[in-house]
Structure 1
Amino acid sequence: MAALHVRALPMGLFPRLGEQFVARWHRAYLDSPHAVALVAVRRTGAEEDVVGFLVGATDRLSFHRELLRNHRTALAVRGGLALVTRPAVLSDFTRTRLRPYLRRISGSSEPPVPKWSAPRAPVADLTAVAVATVARRGGAGRRLVETFLTRCAASGTRWAELVTALEPGGAQDFYASTGWSVLHDVVTRDGVSVRHFARRLDLPEGS
């Protein structure tokens, strides 16, 4: 999963920190009751190759809190080691992300929730999905996304969001044709144009 993520989804900081960091980050999705990690495999005889993956949160805020509580130290250590051996990435990180990340790690970036506030409706986050070139156009990506959305709906989540890079032949056309609605376009800290999508989820029958 980590190797495919770094190769197929280079956008953002985490893939630039290398496979070991991404693998440790993915592990947080495996351990969480608020997240999903899926793989698509291709079987050749007795061998299996990972040709696709998806990681996402069924409840974005709860997963974020859990990530900071249970995985903050391990991710910070791995991230620090990766930055030391990647001077160009370290320079970009210091310039664009150091202060926000320090606030996030310290837990000060999230305002306290008043005791009188109404219950928060969970929002799902499709964080990353990729399919290897050899397996594309075979429906693996669609099945990964549909399985993720089914699990989100089964958990009671009614709204899902994602972000994808805007590029020729990119995933934005796939999402636009499979029921996702455009929210807005922005430019990231790294100067990459991205599009935010959202989708309303139906609860399973009998819920």
Structure 2
Amino acid sequence: MLSIEPLRTSDIEATASLHRKNLRLGLFPKLGRHFLGLYQESFARSPYGIALVARDDDDHVVGALFGTTANAEHYRWVTHNFGSRLALAGCGAMLTRPQVALDFARTRMGRYARGVARHMGVLPSASASAAQPRASRPVSVLSHIVTDATMRRRGVGRRLIEGFANRATARGVHRALLVTEEGGLGTPFFERLGCRLVGQHKSHDGAILREYRLILDEEGAYEDLAGDRRAYTVVHAYPKRLGSASILPERP
């Protein structure tokens, strides 16, 4: 019987291999299993992270999920507590992967340096200088979800998301963002769950990315429609129930 449990240290070799083999988008899979293992461990240890695995009857890891309940706070915590180890692992990997190092320098070095400076307090955060009425609301992100190729379409991904939703809502989170590559396996999977497409953009590597909003409970289902507050959109999303969006009258 499939079980969903928090990530153990002994699981990391398996989850890093799953990630590297099945989620090839972006820089991190190119940096190898050691870097991915540290990166995944940071989710398990962070007070703002969620790291889950799916186990089969033989206790084999057949899926994994990594997310945050407060994304900016999570990466600030990671910078302070895992930053040096991740930097060393990343630099070590790039020493033996010159093309990866060139791509990093060309597409990401400046952004990463500014991000680290903001997290360390050297530069002001972007939100600090902008008047945003909802800036105090933490942004939850479902960062990665992966299943073994032999276990797809068996409910592993749904069970992992259900586990994420249960843990996130227990911490006061009602909805989460996620990003997947257009045309990949993630697009139909997330749309079957009732996720709402909220944006589309290009990655640093040129891939087209689709950004979705995942509703975790009834509280998270109410959103302003075009900002006019005359009606709300409710998305019937897993784990409550699946279905298309419908319009409800304004809440009292």
CA distance in 2, matches of 1:137, 1:117: 41
CA distance in 2, matches of 1:159, 1:65: 21
- 1:14-42 per-residue CA deviation (whole Å, 9 max, x = no partner) reads 11100000000111111111111001112
CA distance in 2, matches of 1:61, 1:147: 22
Tell me by how many angstroms 1:101 deviates.
1.1
- 1:149-180 per-residue CA deviation (whole Å, 9 max, x = no partner) reads 12111110122000001125x21111112121
Tell me by how many angstroms 1:112 deviates.
6.7
CA distance in 2, matches of 1:151, 1:124: 12
CA distance in 2, matches of 1:189, 1:50: 31
SS at match of 1:191: coil
Contact in 2 for aligned 1:122/1:158 (Cα 8 Å)? no
**Residue 174 of structure 2: aligned partner:** 158
Q: 2:158 aligns with which of 129, 137, 142?
A: 142
Q: 2:56 aligns with which of 42, 47, 50?
A: 42
CA distance in 2, matches of 1:134, 1:68: 35
Contact in 2 for aligned 1:154/1:203 (Cα 8 Å)? no
Structure number with greater CO (CA < 8 Å, separation at least 6) is: 1
CA distance in 1, matches of 2:198, 2:218: 22
CA distance in 2, matches of 1:55, 1:109: 28
Tell me by how many angstroms 1:82 deviates.
0.6
**CA 13–27 in structure 1, closer or farther in 2 if over 3 Å, else same:** same
**Residue 15 of structure 1: aligned partner:** 29
SS at match of 1:17: helix
CA distance in 2, matches of 1:112, 1:125: 17
CA distance in 2, matches of 1:66, 1:125: 15
Identity of aligned residues (%): 33
Question: Which ranges of structure 1 fall in alignment gaps of 5 or more residues?
Answer: none
Structure 1: 4+ residue segments shifted above 6 A: 116-119
CA distance in 2, matches of 1:110, 1:16: 29
Equivalent position amino acid for 1:191 in 2: G
Contact in 2 for aligned 1:186/1:193 (Cα 8 Å)? yes
**Residue 77 of structure 1: aligned partner:** 88
TM-score, length of structure 2 as denominator length: 0.74
**Residue 64 of structure 1: aligned partner:** 75
SS at match of 2:128: coil
2:105 aligned with 1:91: no
Equivalent position amino acid for 2:75 in 1: H
Tell me by how many angstroms 1:113 deviates.
3.1
Tell me by how many angstroms 1:43 deviates.
2.9
SS at match of 1:22: helix
Q: Provide the alpha-carbon RMSD of the alignment.
A: 1.9
Tell me by how many angstroms 1:136 deviates.
1.0
Number of equivalenced pairs:
199
